[in-house]
Amino acid sequence: MLLPTVPADMPRALQLMLAREHTDVAALPRRDFLKLTVAGGFALGVAPLDVHAQGTAPPGLKPQQQPAAFVAIARDGTVTVTVNRLEFGQGVQTALPLILAEELDADWARVRSQLGTNDMAYADPMFGMHLTGGSNSIKHSYTQYRELGARARAMLVSAAAARWQVDAARLRTETGHVIGPGGRRLGYGELADDAMKLPVPEAVVLKDPKQFKLIGKPTTRLDARAKSSGRHDFGIDVRRPGQLTAVVARPPVFGAKLRSVDDTAARAVKGVKAVLRVPLDRGAEGVAVVADGYWPAKTARDALKLEWATDAVEKVDSERLLAQYRELARQPGARHFDADMAPLASAPKRIEAEFTFPYLAHAPMEPLNCTVELGEQGTTLWVGSQMAGLDGMAAARTLGLKPEQVRVNVQSAGGGFGRRAIPTSDYVVEACGIARAAQAAGLKAPVRTVWSREDDIKGGYYRPMHVHRAQVGFDERGRVLAWDHVIVGQSIVAGSPFESMMVKNGVDATAVEGMREPYAVPMRLTVHHPKVNVPVLWWRSVGSTHTAFVMETLIDQIARETKQDPVAYRLAMFGDKHPRHTAALQLAVDKSGYGKRTLPAGRAWGVAVHESFESVVAYVVEASVKDGEPVLHNVTAGVHCNLVINPRTVEAQVQGAALMGLGMCLPGAAITFKDGVVEQSNFGDYRVARITEMPQFAVHTVPSADPPKGMGEPGLPPLAPAFANAIAHLTGKPLRDLPFKLA
């Protein structure tokens, strides 16, 4: 999940933001990184190579462009590729090595992967900061990893040419070998020592996509066996010598402070080492219990007797807040689009609609955690971070260190959907504060701070609640004459370092992404961003989680009211200006049998198409209503994401995103507040879609050789509106709320 579509000037703006944050950004010294890669070599059971013993790189090459930090070739030919992103289920730990291995001509059976650190070599090459989000991993690093592989390959070829005393132009590479005249062969492992000492070529020639042998082929993930057998380690599995575990008692209302603490019973629990009063996110206070394991820490936390001072903070109530939002939605706000609304009054046909969307929790399977080890020379963190650089700098500020004194070892995460990419670095700052407090209490040991499922559900940074109000005027042919639209919802970037670049004219760009396009309708769009004591953040597919639902259900309703086929109506509106939308929708239609196949009684078709993060996903679904509940039976996806790196990854991402989108539709999929307190606490009262609710699913991609776009998020937005449109065809009543309300 994850970050929103960003403005064109954002890379430069992010660099300026980082420069203001710290002149010396968190870069792991090269000698320290060498130690890391050496350790990785021993872990593979082979002698490591000094990958930093290469000659001087050309001055035009940045750290992100040099093979030394990314490619380690052992003497047995094993190639270990370091990934510059967080792996949290999206498959990047396979896709990026696949791209590099393609240009390297590596033997895929000998390719391994590992995650990186907050070394600047692993910054996003476009943004200049560490970032896993916005479906940018493949999109931004596709050319980068191809060039890394091509540079490493050129160095290996040069080493072989020198050894054989032949012209390098006479050599070729194949499955981990350099092949010379007369069929002579040298394995990459035999050449790596010499190759890595050679100058790094600045310019390299990349393959024509027609030459690809790995890219585009269905490939099993490198981590699939370990994950499916339970052997894969995530951040929560980190174990350091002498490690202690901390859990935190947090206030019931965001921002509240402690009035009194009685920790007598907590300190009596066996295994408890310390009970510490600590500052928390957003000015709040809490109590951290540090113990020799999670269970004694949690048991002691439950035994605490705490009184909270909540009088000074706003106590949100969902019903009252919804009423306030509805009132705001009847008034124009800050203007984003501005079209003439005069035709609205005289339009032959008219729709007036109000949509509501609740707060949503990210609810990854692995709750938040961070392990901190304080050392005399610096600090090391083990954490599943989407922003390792920013988190490292936040840790440095918390601990009173220089950024270069903090190393962040990025760990695999069991999901995140944006929650691990937070500008406040709340859970990292919390973990560092606890580690420092524990050290001050005499505990000189690594401390792993763990959130429980209940902590995670109640802990904030939700997808914002939204209300949309639309008035649409159109004629008998479905031509939209005027569309007046108001959105009400908190800004997710207000008060963050991103505000200056993503809030324009009072409008948060994340709140309006997905509005209007690709339909060239005359729209006046205004926005209200009320300030509410609920911490909010991007959530998988960000603004498109609500804007796609509004746009696609209203477009479908216009088609129904003018007695037009919803597919034909959309295609006509696309015209020749949106060929990728047309191709994705037509592919889904053709593969589903829409319009050609008779559905079983009680079922209806539903259609939706939406672009987010530069990829287009169209769904054609079959749904019914059983015992008053909507049921999704079949989903056919047409996907246009340009070049597909690994078809299995695209299929899995679309299916996973769609299941998350389905979850938004189900009763109980909402975070609600009463007297400032979150009413939900776990999966028993916060609904997420389960595998048993997964429909039959087929994913089809439009062939393309153009550079790839993102796929982590685009599969989510069009699922809910396609499902809703099918139900509307059955009941004759459009659905206006998520989760669905059929009564």
Look at residue 316 and tell me whether its pLDDT is greater than 70.
yes
What does the alpha-carbon distance between residue 727 and residue 640 come to, in Å, rounded to a whole number?
26
Which pLDDT belongs to residue 417?
A: 97
Mean predicted confidence (pLDDT) in 587-597: 97
Tens digits of residue pLDDT in 79-135: 999 999 999 999 999 999 999 999 999 999 999 999 999 999 999 999 999 999 999
Which pLDDT belongs to residue 718?
A: 98
Tens digits of residue pLDDT in 147-175: 999 999 999 999 999 999 999 999 999 99
Average pLDDT, the chain: 93
Please state the pTM of the whole predicted model: 0.93
Tens digits of residue pLDDT in 435-483: 999 999 999 999 999 999 999 999 999 999 999 999 999 999 999 999 9
- Phi and psi at residue 535, in whole multiples of 5°? -70, 130
Mean predicted confidence (pLDDT) in 481-505: 96
Look at residue 512 and tell me whether its pLDDT is greater than 80.
yes
Instruction: Using alpha carbons only, give the angle 687, 453, 254 rounded to the nearest 5 degrees.
Output: 90
Domain ranges of the chain: 10-228, 235-312+368-450, 329-360+461-731
Question: Residue 248 in contact with residue 288, Cβ under 8 Å?
Answer: yes
Buried b (16+ CB within 10 A) or exposed e, 155-170: bbbbbbbeebeeeeee
Q: Where are the alpha helices (DSSP H) in 81-174?
A: 92-104, 137-164
Domain spanning 235-312+368-450: CATH 3.30.365.10: yes
Which pLDDT belongs to residue 185?
A: 97
Pairing verdict, β 244-249 and 406-410: unpaired
Tens digits of residue pLDDT in 350-381: 999 999 999 999 999 999 999 999 998 899 99
Which pLDDT belongs to residue 36?
A: 31
Tokens of 63: 């750290």
Cβ contacts of 431 within 8 Å, gap of 6 or more: 246, 369, 370, 371, 372, 381, 383, 447, 448, 449
Which pLDDT belongs to residue 372?
A: 98
Look at residue 42 and tell me whether its pLDDT is greater than 50.
no
User: Over pLDDT 70: what percentage of the chain?
Assistant: 92
CATH number given to 329-360+461-731 = 3.30.365.10
DSSP secondary structure of 407-464: EEEE---S--TTTT--TT-HHHHHHHHHHHHHHHTT--S-EEEE--HHHHHHS--BBP
Amino acid sitting at position 124: D
The three-class DSSP label of residue 369 is: strand
Look at residue 8 and tell me whether its pLDDT is greater than 70.
no
Q: Where are the alpha helices (DSSP H) in 466-543?
A: 499-502, 509-512
Q: Which of 30-39, 146-155, 417-426 has the lowest mean pLDDT?
A: 30-39
Tokens of 206: 């990349």
Look at residue 539 and tell me whether its pLDDT is greater than 70.
yes
Cis preceding-peptide flag for 518 (omega within 30 of 0): yes
Local confidence band at 35 (pLDDT 50, 70, 90 cut-offs): very low
- CATH topology assigned to domain 10-228: Aldehyde Oxidoreductase; domain 4 (3.30.365)
- Phi and psi at residue 97, in whole multiples of 5°? -60, -35
Local confidence band at 56 (pLDDT 50, 70, 90 cut-offs): low
Local confidence band at 14 (pLDDT 50, 70, 90 cut-offs): low
Tens digits of residue pLDDT in 602-615: 999 999 999 999 99
Given this chain, do its domains 10-228 and 329-360+461-731 carry the same CATH topology?
yes
Order of strands, edge to edge, in the sheet holding 480-489? Answer: 334-337, 523-528, 480-489, 466-474, 349-357
